[in-house]
Amino acid sequence: MSDTDPQDVFLARQPILDRQQQLFAYELLFRGASAGKGDSAGSLDGGLAPVPPAVIVDTFTELSLAEALGPYQGFIKADQGLLCGEQVSALPARTVVLEILDTVAQTPAMIAHCELLRQQGYILATHVRPESSEALDIEGKPLLKMVEFIKVDVGGAEADRLKRLVSALKPLRKTLLAEKVESDAKMRLCHELGFDLFQGYYFAQPTVKANESKRLQSSETALLRLLGLISQDADTVEIEAVFKQEPVLTLSLLRLTNSAGSGLTTRITSLRHAITLLGRRQLLRWLQLLLYSGASTSVPAVNPLLQLAATRGRLMELLVDHTSEIGQYGRDLVDQAFMAGILSLMSAILGAKSGEILAQLPLAAPVLEALGERRGVLGDLLTLVEALEDETPDKAAAVLGRLSGIDTACVNGCLTRALGWANNLAR
């Protein structure tokens, strides 16, 4: 029996997008932090000892993950222990999706139990592995007819086999979810085949080739210029002059500052008024987020990169406040942590080399070291954040050992807060 404690479990998440490439849900992953120390604690599906159901439920409830998820559902991998145990009743039905693992035998008793869970309002999902010789045996898998979602591991699957599998599954009229989608090409293939949902970080991969450099659009260059001016504490007149050259960008800023989410009670009527009332720190945050929000287009739209970048920035900001280095560098390190998290995905959204982008920004040394070489406390924090996204608890645990003042409980709590903040921002 495992003695895994909630304090030794990393919480991670992966985005699930719909066919319009908008965020649909998150998969919540519970990974044993001590896996990085050489013992057997690990994940439900990683080939290691499972995290006990009680720990998963305790982590979910103690961190108020249902609140942090906001309008999005949370997929949770469920083995027989979680499905049949009393703890499952503590998970909010309609908020969580119980992913029934392949290790759960589809016996008549288990099918009856899953039907009971479904009647109680729980949403179920199951897995199909295309490389399995039994993948096309639809009749031999009764769960397929009662779940709402069918997940297909498309990572190493050939196109022809995926096509046959989708054709066999479509008559069931279930929502088909392609998981382990790690490239834009794989996403396009799955989209063409008829998948409804897509899980993976393909949307965060830079599209610029190593020997090519995309010319930045004027609006993108303006955002970078503004970031540089504010970082240098330039005069308001200089900042206003750049805004005036970008009418759409100016309109976006006025809309943001006049929204309820800005926290301002005074109605803003002019550009200089907005810059003055917002303050440099708030303005810097909005500009960083505008890089991802589509504000440079005529129809602003939220994209998953905004949510991922915002979560990174907020998570690093929250974490750095717990480190011993905060006493040495002061509050500037908090702003730098947020900036490092936000800017870490600029290459993906702008389609340009990171070196070209960073060359246009007079960033502080800790930010440059973090983004370019993963050095310093900010570099360690960025590595930790990326490790949580990549499902590498051993790497996360190793980095955590270099960060004084932070443990897994702190990481999980900060991630939950960052997730909720980013979700609210998207709305």
pLDDT at residue 195 greater than cutoff 90: yes
Amino acid identity of residue 319, one-letter, is L
**Biggest CA-to-CA distance, the chain:** 73
What span, in angstroms and rounded, lies between the C-alpha atoms of 354 and 365?
A: 16
Q: What pLDDT score does 281 carry?
A: 82
pLDDT at 174: 95
Give residue-wise pLDDT tens across range 92-122: 998 999 999 988 988 999 999 999 999 999 9
Give pLDDT, residue 218.
66
pLDDT of residue 220: 72
Instruction: Please state, rounded to an integer, the average pLDDT across all residues of the chain.
Output: 82
pLDDT score of 72 more than 60: yes
State residue 95's pLDDT score. Answer: 92
Structure tokens at 320: 């750095």
Q: Are 357 and 347 in contact (CB under 8 A)?
A: yes
Three-class SS of residue 401? coil
Separation between Cα atoms, residue 75 and residue 125, nearest integer Å: 9
pLDDT top residue among 327 and 73: 73
pLDDT at residue 423, rounded to an integer: 84
Between 20-29, 296-305, 350-359, the lowest mean confidence (pLDDT) is in: 296-305
Q: Give the confidence band of 302 by pLDDT, cuts at 50, 70, 90.
A: low
Q: What is the pLDDT of residue 231?
A: 73
Residues 349 and 305: beta-carbon distance below 8 Å = yes
- Give the model's confidence band at 214: pLDDT under 50 very low, under 70 low, under 90 confident, else very high: low
The pLDDT assigned to 110 comes to 93
Report how far residue 214's alpha carbon sits from residue 350's, in angstroms, rounded to the nearest whole number: 8
pLDDT of residue 197: 97
**Euclidean distance between CA atoms 357 and 347, whole angstroms:** 8
Write down all domains in the chain, each with its CATH number in brackets.
Answer: 6-203 (3.20.20.450), 218-426 (1.10.3210)
pLDDT at 89: 92
Q: For residue 100, list its beta bridge partners.
A: 78, 126
Q: Provide the percentage of residues in the chain whose pLDDT is more than 70.
A: 82
Q: Any residues with CB less than 8 A from the CB of 67 and at least 6 apart, and which? A: 420
Pairing state of beta strands 149-153 and 96-100?
Answer: unpaired
Mean pLDDT on 310-329 = 84
Entry pTM: 0.82
Percent with pLDDT over 90 in the chain: 36
pLDDT attached to residue 271: 77
pLDDT at 205: 80
Q: Which residues lie below 8 Å from residue 142, measured CB to CB, with a gap of 6+?
A: 106, 111
Between 46-50, 350-354, 369-373, the lowest mean confidence (pLDDT) is in: 46-50
Check residue 258 and give its pLDDT: 66
